[in-house]
Amino acid sequence: MLKGAPRIVVGKHVDILGDNDAADSHCGSKAFDVQDFFMDMRLLEDIAPVLHLALMHDSKERAENMVRLPQFDPAEFDLFVRMATMDQMATADQETKFYSLLTIDVMLKILPIAAYLRSQRILKTMIKMQQASPNLSGVVSMEQLDVEVTWSKYALDKLAKQIVTKAGVTQYNWGNGKLLFSKGDPIKKQWSSNSSLNGFFSGGWSNYKEHPITVKP
């Protein structure tokens, strides 16, 4: 443990008490173990500026030298710290190797933490990767988390191909920054049977500022 390092308390305990019915009612909920992380202030400034600011200003956090993050899974927070630190230290020669470690599965785990803590460098890295090779889940997650990004035409075209493949659509085109589908495609039937797509094309991206995806009437 670093001497004097602030304590970051991540996770929460969910105690299930009572009979089996009460226990069953908690099935499917996330129950995290609480874990302490002791991090140098300079590292926090680089990878978690929100925490750094909280500990620098006159606040309860500064008085206790502690910040609580009950909404995150400690294992995913640990992964975020490792990836953000590696990104911070990576040289140009090491970028390719780092990108191979930052898979879409890893990105989806650490993206909510990076967005909440405003970890700009790792966010820029993930945006760069999504611009070069967009993944439907990755792009949707960034939009839902209000990550500031203007998608390139290349990324949008790649994304469109993923969308139409999932929806069984054969013809589409871009018009005024919107994805337009031909009327003859059985897209609505596909949407109703696919909850991950249902609502996505009908205004589900309320924060999609540059190129909102809509359906042609």
Strand 66-69 and strand 172-175: the pairing is unpaired
- pTM higher than 0.75: no
SS3 47: helix
Domain end marker among 126, 144, 162: 144
Per-residue model confidence (pLDDT) at position 63: 92
Per-residue model confidence (pLDDT) at position 30: 59
**Do 136 and 176 fall within a single domain?**
no
Per-residue model confidence (pLDDT) at position 203: 38
> Using CA of residue 129, residue 49, residue 76, residue 111, what is the dihedral sign?
negative
66: Cα separation from own chain's centroid: 25
**Do 133 and 157 fall within a single domain?**
no
β-sheet with 7-10: strand ranges across: 35-38, 7-10, 66-69
**Do 174 and 197 fall within a single domain?**
yes
- Could you give the number of structural domains in the chain? 2
By the 10 Å C-beta count (0-12 exposed, 13-18 middle, 19+ buried), 189 is classed as: exposed
**Do 140 and 161 fall within a single domain?**
no
Beta bridge partners of 179: 174
- The closest alpha carbon to 108, from 63, 140, 62, 65, belongs to 140
**Do 53 and 156 fall within a single domain?**
no
**Backbone phi, then psi, for 69, in 5-degree steps?**
-130, 75
Contact present, 174 and 160 (Cβ < 8 Å): yes
Per-residue pLDDT of the chain (217 residues; tens, 9 = 90+): 556 789 999 998 665 444 444 444 444 455 668 999 999 999 999 999 999 999 998 889 999 999 999 999 999 999 999 999 999 888 888 888 899 999 999 999 999 999 999 999 999 999 999 999 988 888 888 878 888 888 887 887 787 777 666 655 555 555 544 555 554 444 444 444 443 443 444 433 333 333 334 333 2
**Do 134 and 185 fall within a single domain?**
no
**Do 131 and 157 fall within a single domain?**
no
Per-residue model confidence (pLDDT) at position 2: 56
Task: Determine, yes or no, domain membership for 2.
Answer: no
Per-residue model confidence (pLDDT) at position 38: 93
Alpha carbons 82 and 146: distance in angstroms, whole number: 23
Residue numbers of the domain that contains 126: 7-144
Domain end marker among 118, 144, 170: 144
Distances (CA, A) of 179 to 132, 161, 190, 206: 20, 11, 17, 15
Contacts of 152 (CB under 8 A, 6+ apart): 131
Per-residue model confidence (pLDDT) at position 33: 86
**Do 34 and 116 fall within a single domain?**
yes
With tokens 């970890």, the residue in question is 119
Task: Determine, yes or no, domain membership for 216.
Answer: yes
Per-residue model confidence (pLDDT) at position 187: 44
**Do 210 and 177 fall within a single domain?**
yes
Domain end marker among 114, 144, 174: 144
**Do 98 and 138 fall within a single domain?**
yes
**Do 74 and 135 fall within a single domain?**
yes
